[in-house]
Amino acid sequence: MIVHIFYIYLTSFLCERKEILAKTNFNMIKSFRIEFKVRSYECDSYGHVNNAAYLNYLEYARMSALAEIGFNLDNMKEKGYLAVIRRIEIDYKFPLFMNDLVEIRTFVNELKNSSGTFTQQILNKTKQQLAAEAKVTWVFINLKGKPIAIPEEIRAAFNFKKL
């Protein structure tokens, strides 16, 4: 029931964003969520979360998503590959403040041969606001740093089939 409600919400949210909608197959979306409270040391002299802290939040959410499907940096290295970030675009909407309850939603909305894109939403659950949204492009590489095809086990874990 909760998954179905979230699917409806996500579908309506994505419909407002044509650039994401055009690349999204709703039958394949697998989403992930984490929650935490803003800590005092993440805030700057303006009293809100420093913009650089958002990168840490996003990284934490992506690593949590990978862990949820059974992957981490150590086991990917053992298998001879890594996923590295190529580009991050962040749109800041509203500030976060100390003790705000934050939820980060992460989902893969595109997979190509060796790269893919996560969309990540940082929500202020305290105020029910979208605080920021990021588009994160990543690429799979071998341990020598050369791009490789996304491993089939990763595609399967994210419910994406090779086209």
What residues are labeled active site? Answer: 44
Task: Report the 10 Å Cβ neighbour count for 120.
Answer: 23
Structure tokens at 54: 């958002």
What is the rounded CA–CA span in Å between residue 43 and residue 45? 7
What is the rounded CA–CA span in Å between residue 83 and residue 147? 9
